[in-house]
Structure 1
Amino acid sequence: MFHFTLGAGRATMLSYTSYLLTAAAALLVTCHALCKCPGTPGLPAVTGLLGRDGLRGQPCLLSLMDSLDIELNNDLVNLRHRISRLEGVLALNGKIREVGDKILASNGKEVDFESGLGSCEEAGGTVATPMNEEENKAILDIVKQYNRYAYLGIKESETSGQFLYIDGTALNYTKWHPHEPNGKGAEKCVEMYTDGSWNDKKCNLRRLTICEF
């Protein structure tokens, strides 16, 4: 099990994002308040800004406000998702790369495949898995910085020689080193060399941990 320590940067970011969530929640409450329609049980008229009679005699704004509520709720969900990803990246407190919709990060530790997968999942991600040439190059950048081979999020299936993503789906991109894979069922994991090519390897060796979020 890995334990990570965070500096003042994360505390500042969390304080700021907490403020954003609070402000968004307050806006939702305001929308509900403005949407009160007179004559509806449990929904008193709004007074003050709209006069003593509130919205009495005016078209009800419920439909509009409900639409705004849905949009704000979607924004909150997206914001929470981004905060979760950023927290995971900060927790690794190491090298970071962004490629497409993915964020790649490493804590510089070398562990076996299962330990690396566990630390990535604990941080809210998974083991880095290149699905195209651009992502492979981004992972390679981190591999080169540490000058260490790294496990990828790919494993051999029950069928010898057939490799799949760790979620069980078929590979849509490969970068095998010449004459690889050649483990014939004895090497279930996949590592990246420092030239970006892949090699099948046993899963109990110590390799660089690179996660994606």
Structure 2
Amino acid sequence: MLSHSSCMLIAVAALLVTCHALCKCPGIPGLPDIPELPGREGLKGQPRLPGLIGLCRNLMGPPGRDGLPWVQGLPYSLDTKLHDVLVNLKHRLSRLEGVLALDGKIREVGGKILASNGKEVDFASALQSCEEAGGTLATPTNEEENKAVLGIVKQYNRYAYLGIIEGETSGQFNYINGTPLNYTKWHQHEPNGKGTEKCVEMYTDGSWNDKKCNLYRLTICEF
């Protein structure tokens, strides 16, 4: 399964390949010296290098660093080649996300993308795997997001840990970053652990229950 972060890495790699093919980045090891595209007139009649050269400039670092020159590029809005490359990448990523969504591998809700690897592990392991992938544990902040997480829970028919933990005060639960909850979906008579159940799981009906953190639950990440 490709995570959202993996998709972004593919996009960056494709963009850099394009830069290598279309521009010359003098002095940078590993980048080929390919003839430059025709220049354009800049201030005082000086030639202005294409905007993709400006993209390579970002790889070169700030002016004066290691003796490399600062190369002036065209603004993104005026560089049609760079614009076309980014539009194409956006289109391809959109299609890839569509395929993954159709296959049930990911779900989109609001500005989030939810995904599961189908593995059942303890809370700490689930959180670690999500963070290593560039995200965090799924954390519903409204009814729409809760329903999206529930969709994955139902798909696997397994309870899942949420990115919510109990704070220092018994019965007071917060997001992982310590922020108080702005939305809850507690099952009837929950939470009732009274300080002994620090984590939160989602039932297959979408309601929440406080639970111990060392049990095996489905991993669902958000990006």
TM-score (norm 2): 0.63
d(CA) in 2 for partners of 1:106, 1:160: 30
Paired residues of 1:38 and 1:45 also in contact (CA < 8 A): no
Counterparts of 1:105-120 in structure 2, within 5 Å, are 105-120=115-130
2:157 paired with 1:151: no
Counterparts of 1:1-213 in structure 2, within 5 Å, are 14=10, 18-23=13-18, 26=22, 33-34=39-40, 36-38=42-44, 44=47, 65-66=74-75, 68=77, 95-213=105-223
Provide the secondary structure at the position in 2 that maps to 1:148. Answer: coil
RMSD: 4.2
Provide the secondary structure at the position in 2 that maps to 1:145. Answer: helix
d(CA) in 2 for partners of 1:140, 1:96: 13
TM-score (norm 1): 0.66
Provide the secondary structure at the position in 2 that maps to 1:190. Answer: strand
Q: Show structure 1 runs of 5+ residues with no match.
A: 47-62
Provide the secondary structure at the position in 2 that maps to 1:144. Answer: helix
Cα pair distance change 1:137/1:32, threshold 3 Å = farther
Q: Residue 23 of structure 1: CA displacement?
A: 3.6
Q: Residue 211 of structure 1: CA displacement?
A: 0.4
Q: Show structure 2 runs of 5+ residues with no match.
A: 26-35, 50-71
Paired residues of 1:164 and 1:170 also in contact (CA < 8 A): yes
Letter in 1 for 2:216: R
d(CA) in 2 for partners of 1:34, 1:23: 20
Cα pair distance change 1:104/1:28, threshold 3 Å = farther
d(CA) in 1 for partners of 2:145, 2:15: 32
d(CA) in 2 for partners of 1:107, 1:182: 30
The alignment-based identity, stated in percent, is 66
Cα pair distance change 1:205/1:28, threshold 3 Å = farther
Q: Residue 205 of structure 1: CA displacement?
A: 0.4
Cα pair distance change 1:28/1:147, threshold 3 Å = farther
Give the 4+ runs in structure 1 shifted more than 3 A: 16-33, 35-39, 43-46, 63-70
Deviations 1:130-178 (A, max 9, x none): 0100100010011011111000000001111110000111111000001
Give 1 or 2 for the bigger CA radius of gyration.
1
Cα pair distance change 1:163/1:31, threshold 3 Å = farther
d(CA) in 2 for partners of 1:35, 1:112: 62
